[in-house]
């Protein structure tokens, strides 16, 4: 049986097979969760990212976790919110799907997601949470080898949203 749960935490502290980074298309670091992951992983992470040639919106790439407790970082690039008619929902769904597909291809069984796109990129938190839950539940129903997915909320407000959706 696989588990889908939510917690409030700093994602860099989680000892799972992989954590997901809400990156930008350069993959060379930034603010928010991206900055926190690069600081905690150490400088080897940006060196590894330089070799990846960037990442398009909705796609995902994988690196080791270096100094992080997690073995891998899966970097995905969420859409910038432009009002909702610029394919944002489809692109955000692809972030979750492509991250999980890459996890599967690398033998990752436990993985944590931050609330992709809902910080600096401005995606409305509730809409993003609904889409994240739906997309991940659909994937897990088809792929039982992913044993644990954690929605890692940084804010108490996000935790409440995910708790309601997963209840």
The CA distance from 47 to 123, in Å, is 29
Tokens matching residue 120: 């600096």
- Which of the ranges 28-36, 61-69, 103-111, 136-144 carries the binding residues for ligand AR6, by CB under 6 A? 28-36
Distances, alpha carbon 103 to alpha carbons 49, 125, 161, in Å: 17, 24, 25
Q: Does 79 bind ligand AR6 (CB under 6 A)?
A: no
Known catalytic membership, residue 34: yes
Among 61, 68, 78, 162, binds ligand AR6 (CB under 6 A): 78
23 near ligand AR6, judged by CB under 6 A: yes
Q: Site for ligand AR6 (CB under 6 A): which residue of 5, 10, 15, 164?
A: 10
Cα dihedral 106, 134, 149, 25 sign: positive
Cβ distance to ligand AR6 smaller for residue 115 or 146: 115
Backbone angles phi, psi at 4, to 5 degrees: -125, 120
Catalytic residues: 34
């Amino acid at each position: 049986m696989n588990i889908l749960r939510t917690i409030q935490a700093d994602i860099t502290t989680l000892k799972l097979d992989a954590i997901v980074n809400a990156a930008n298309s350069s993959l060379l670091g930034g603010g928010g969760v991206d900055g926190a992951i690069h600081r905690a992983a150490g400088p080897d992470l940006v060196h590894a990212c330089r070799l990846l040639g960037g990442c398009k919106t909705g796609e995902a790439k994988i690196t080791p976790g270096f100094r992080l407790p997690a073995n891998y970082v899966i970097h995905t690039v969420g859409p910038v919110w432009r009002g909702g008619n610029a394919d944002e929902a489809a692109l955000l769904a692809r972030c979750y799907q492509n991250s999980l597909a890459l996890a599967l291809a690398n033998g990752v069984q436990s993985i944590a997601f931050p609330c992709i796109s809902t910080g600096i990129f401005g995606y409305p938190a509730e809409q993003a949470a609904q889409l994240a839950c739906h997309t991940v539940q659909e994937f897990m129903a088809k792929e039982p080898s992913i044993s644990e997915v954690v929605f890692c909320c940084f804010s108490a407000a996000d935790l409440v949203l995910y708790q309601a959706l997963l209840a």
